[in-house]
Amino acid sequence: MIYVTRREVFSSSHRLFNPKFNEEENDRIFGKCNNLNGHGHNYILEVVVKGEINPDTGYVIDLKLLKTIIIENIIKKVDHKNLNLDVDFLYGIIPTAENIAVGIWKQLIDKISSGKLYSIKLYETENNYVEYKGE
């Protein structure tokens, strides 16, 4: 079994808040990330596919194809967008790195044409990232 990774980047804005909480609670829980008019991140997304090497091609999945799958299903939907308002698969969800990673997983799980989706790693800052493996 071997693991192949495609990295893509995107820039988005978001605001972290829960409409169930009042202003004071949102401020306490989310701090600066609760800024009323949002703020932005340059996200780094890593999609890892695992599988056997196809002896005819030497590939698990053609990385050009994996790139296209990620661009079409994720990047076009999130890049230069407001993650609270513009993205169908995140609508109604607090757009933390955790929730974005799970949303991306759900978008991609059926789209990987060879090999199997293994993990979604999402860097929100240089020092903060989350990883989701479907469970």
Please give the positions annotated as active site: 33, 80, 124
Shortest CB 42 distance to Ni ion, Å: 11
Within 41-86, residue ranges assigned H as helices are: 63-70, 76-78
Closest CA to 73 of 43, 42, 111, 100: 111
Sheet holding 2-14, edge to edge: 81-82, 2-14, 39-51, 116-123, 129-132
Interface residue with Ni ion, options 33, 65, 75, 130 (CB under 5 A): 33
Select 33 or 44, whichever has its Cβ closest to Ni ion. Answer: 33
Count of alpha carbons within 13 angstroms of residue 35, beta-carbon side: 8
Segment near Ni ion (CB under 5 A), from 28-36, 68-76, 80-88, 126-134? Answer: 28-36
* Residues near Ni ion (CB under 5 A), total: 1
User: How many residues would you count in the chain?
Assistant: 135
Segment near Ni ion (CB under 5 A), from 26-34, 43-51, 56-64, 99-107? Answer: 26-34
Q: Helix, strand, or coil here: 70?
A: helix
Select 33 or 65, whichever has its Cβ closest to Ni ion. Answer: 33
Select 33 or 75, whichever has its Cβ closest to Ni ion. Answer: 33
